[in-house]
Chain A
């Protein structure tokens, strides 16, 4: 039988605010346990939540960016359950009336087409703390630094049909929230994590199969692997006469498998009800307007502009707009150089990105800024150096040896464009290789490359390649 996979993702994006969603405590990552938890985060008797205004602004920006409805009235509700790292024994979330509803996001598929994924809703909620089970001699430690951290939970429609689509959607959403500046996107620190609802059904069937929810996937790779494993598990189960049960499963990255955590029967009845400590959240037109004004240029728009303004291919434009920082760097380079956007694109996507990757470095901390890169490209443009020499200069710039011009001078890398000087080198090469010359003249055209290589080698790469070509053609004719 042919099977169809149906996937919906619930993504938790930690909002990049300085303080928590309902308290003034810091959200900075990595502090000593329980040093960033105030009375409110600890759920002391008598404390009350007060909503962080910035959190609302960010949620509204997200809603506008995905063409969703930003609710004029939304309501915070309590989700009640007991867990040691949930200080109030309820999580303040949004239930019936979320702040954002009915959005969509377009993803690019492998075959070059695109697909629109529906976003059911996005709601605000607070994170819980962390339970630490190691090093406490049979007891558990509770760290409440994370308790009260603002989250935007983004729930997709079950529109995804494969693990690859799920990853493409997740990456697109990741790009979006980072672009908007509302999430730092750091997946290792849990700033962007995913629960996947996965089910299978016979192809052509319209009814959804029973789903399993895989919790807490914190990398693109885990999402892909966990979903793939889960699809196979469900198909195998059904084909061998079994039934998928509705349950929550955990992905074990070491074993590459998902494991049952709790079944539907064991599931909590969360007893949601509107939180009486918080008034309904009312957003007027002025607030939504202001959020719209805060929106940066979004990836899709930027990509189209790059194609039109710089004459870039869809591929180049899409790579360069992967992140706002990369796009900004590219545009700064083009502006500084004042010409050759394609040359700039090649360098930003090529050597520059490769060096960043190699050193695992952010653009913000790159040793070569856009102005400096443009300084190098200007020397290619005015033929002071060749593209090949430029790579050597770039490496030196990356190592902190200074500006392009200084390195070119210091190392004597200036390109040789003087015709007579090049001719002199060519003559030397021809004289040194009489055998190859004879073969070439006998019709072995392939040897042309050999002569180019020898000339470049003898000139230490400094001879202008175009001139070398032109002159060699003439000289080899004899």
Chain B
């Protein structure tokens, strides 16, 4: 591939100078925020425009499970009133979509599962509350792999999500609905969750920017648990700047989440423009070896060349235990999920089988009918891994590997400021291609999973195309260095336009 990035300076960037000429849905959150502030349009108009796009395009994409048009318009009107009172913040009146893993009061929260098809949450996730408080408008709930278990958004009870760049390919997963919605401009931004790559990998496959924050940075309260020690919510949007705006509202200590970290939330937009002179980027040799598509590797190389032009220095590093990440993850995550998903027993809420003949029948049929095959597989694997006689060999061993992986990263950060590599070894694959081959599917997250095991922040940004499908570049930074990741991505986005490309069918 010979796609040369456009080298535009910030001043010459047409998107920042002639806003009026751009269609509303093509604008970034930052631009929409400026438009709302300037009174060019109201939140109600903006929301209406996006709702219209969802209605028009969602049937092709299946990115949304639930559309909350009425409450969205009510929220938009409230945002407009708030603006009138002079109390608007950067997200006030901005429409966004929530991954259907976040509990939303009075709205179905399905987690992509038949089990929760009729579950109306009686409370809001902290992330939802915080974005509501910032004045964001919820358009609806996005599709996802069932209980966030998958890398292609094909395991959803509501059917697979399609990639806006090629409707025959997957959008990645599990936050594939959010990624597809943002990529197809059905929402300017969305929330996602990332347990092993579920924000970064779909962001890469859909050509958008997605950030998985440090574990503990964003509250997990009301975020339906898959693997509690790995799950982390984060923003998905077109640009790093938009992710910074969203993360600023989402992050923060939450007394209802014992694992959230009590640490002030910086203004993530403050450091965006920091020059990259002297930035040391580590390229782990393990992330460029066997299994990586050659064209993807080439695209990443080209992006690195751009970074060198921006003043950064690239050095090869090693993360020697990288190959252990997938096996460790596929013990820890299923072990935790086998326990987390045990509450879906047909007793208090969720799917209950018809006419159970006794308690065992109630349990086995409700769960058997409510869960799809991938969820079932992971529950079984996890149950096995935690069983008496196997715990030490699997769970305990996996936890030890986790420590080795964290240590690898800490050693690397003694040498370099950030680590970079491909987000995923390939571009989006075809729908149905890997559903019957879980191991191959799991390898799609080979570069993202270690970041969750270590609890580090990671970001994926679009850096080019292979076979007309987007390629994502992943950056990993040390704990709580989200501002650095956003800065590194933002500087690149000031001189390239990959993040501004819109799939033709949705332009």
Contacts and interface: CB of A to CB of B under 8 A. Distances in A.
Interface in B370-397: 383, 386-388, 391, 395
A276 B228 contact: yes
Given A82-B342, A87-B348, A46 B363 contact: no
Contact of A46 (B103, B339, B344, B348): B103
B342 A273 contact: no
A64 interface: no
Given A80-B342, A84-B347, A90-B342, A277 B259 contact: yes
A146 interface: no
Contact of A49 (B121, B125, B258, B342): B258
A88 B336 CA distance: 13
Which of B111, B256, B335, B349 is most buried by chain A, counting CB atoms within 10 A of its CB?
Answer: B256
A90 B339 contact: yes
B303 interface: no
Interface residues of A, number: 28
Interface in A103-150: 142
A277 B257 CA distance: 8
A278 B258 contact: yes
Given A48-B220, A269-B388, A273-B391, A142 B258 contact: no
Contacts of A31: none
Interface stretch (A37-45, A443-451, A453-461): A37-45
Nearest to A50: B258
A46 B255 CA distance: 15
Nearest to B367: A82
Contact of B221 (A47, A87, A89, A269): A47
Contacts of B102: 46
A51 B259 CA distance: 12
A88 B347 contact: no
Interface string A71-93: 00000001010101001111000
Contacts of A278: 258-259
B387 to A, nearest CB: 6
A271 interface: yes
Contacts of B256: 48, 50
A279 interface: yes
**At the interface, is chain B mostly helix, strand, loop or mixed?**
loop
Interface in A248-273: 269, 271-273
Contacts of A50: 255-258
A89 B342 contact: yes
B258 A88 contact: no
B224 interface: yes
Interface in B314-364: 335-336, 338-339, 342-345, 347-349, 359, 363
Which of B258, B336, B363 is most buried by chain A, counting CB atoms within 10 A of its CB?
Answer: B258
Interface string B65-98: 0000000000000000000000000000000000
B119 interface: yes
Interface residues of B, number: 43
B354 to A, nearest CB: 15
Given A45-B109, A48-B221, A50-B255, A271 B383 contact: yes
Nearest to A22: B258
Nearest to B231: A276
B386 A273 contact: yes
A273 B388 CA distance: 11
A226 B303 CA distance: 76
A82 B119 contact: no
Contacts of B227: 276
B38 to A, nearest CB: 38
B395 to A, nearest CB: 6
A277 B387 contact: no
B122 interface: yes
A129 B220 CA distance: 25
B122 A45 contact: no
Interface string B167-197: 0000000000000000000000000000000
Contacts of B225: 45-46, 277
B202 interface: no
A87 B343 contact: yes
A46 B388 contact: no
Which of B122, B338, B339 is most buried by chain A, counting CB atoms within 10 A of its CB?
Answer: B339
A92 to B, nearest CB: 11
A45 B103 contact: yes
Contacts of A84: 345, 347, 359
B210 interface: no
Interface in B197-230: 220-225, 227-229
Given A273-B391, A276-B336, A43 B343 contact: yes
Given A46-B103, A46-B121, A82-B363, A89 B345 contact: yes
A44 B122 contact: yes
A109 B123 CA distance: 56
A49 B257 CA distance: 7
A80 B386 contact: yes
B300 interface: no
A256 B229 CA distance: 49
A128 to B, nearest CB: 12
A43 B386 contact: no
Contacts of B258: 48-51, 277-279
Given A46-B224, A279-B259, A89 B343 contact: yes
Contacts of B383: 271
Interface string A273-290: 100111100000000000
B348 A45 contact: no
A142 B103 contact: no
Interface in B83-137: 102-103, 109, 111, 116, 119, 121-123, 125
Contacts of B336: 273, 276
Contact of B123 (A39, A43, A51, A88): A39
B387 A271 contact: yes
A271 B339 contact: yes
A277 B228 contact: yes
Contacts of B347: 84, 87, 142
Interface string B255-283: 11111000000000000000000000000
A178 B344 CA distance: 38
B342 A88 contact: yes
Nearest to A270: B388
Nearest to B332: A276
Contact of B116 (A45, A89, A142): A45
Contacts of B335: 273
A269 B339 CA distance: 13
Contacts of B228: 276-277
A44 B124 CA distance: 12
A48 B391 CA distance: 24
B339 A48 contact: no
Given A44-B349, A47-B221, A279-B259, A80 B339 contact: yes
Contacts of B116: 45
Given A39-B123, A43-B348, A276-B228, A271 B386 contact: yes
Contacts of B223: 46
A44 B225 CA distance: 11
List 10 A-B pairs, minimum CB-CB distance, nearest first. Answer: A89-B342, A276-B229, A271-B386, A276-B228, A46-B222, A45-B224, A46-B103, A43-B343, A88-B343, A46-B224
Interface of A: 39, 42-51, 78, 80, 82, 84, 87-90, 142, 269, 271-273, 276-279
27 contacts: A44-B123, A45-B103, A45-B111, A45-B225, A45-B343, A45-B344, A45-B349, A46-B222, A46-B224, A48-B220, A51-B258, A80-B386, A82-B363, A89-B342, A142-B347, A142-B348, A269-B387, A271-B339, A271-B383, A271-B387, A271-B388, A273-B335, A273-B339, A273-B395, A276-B228, A276-B259, A277-B228
Interface of B: 102-103, 109, 111, 116, 119, 121-123, 125, 220-225, 227-229, 255-259, 335-336, 338-339, 342-345, 347-349, 359, 363, 383, 386-388, 391, 395
Given A47-B221, A84-B359, 8 more contacts: A39-B123, A44-B123, A48-B259, A50-B255, A272-B386, A272-B391, A276-B228, A277-B228
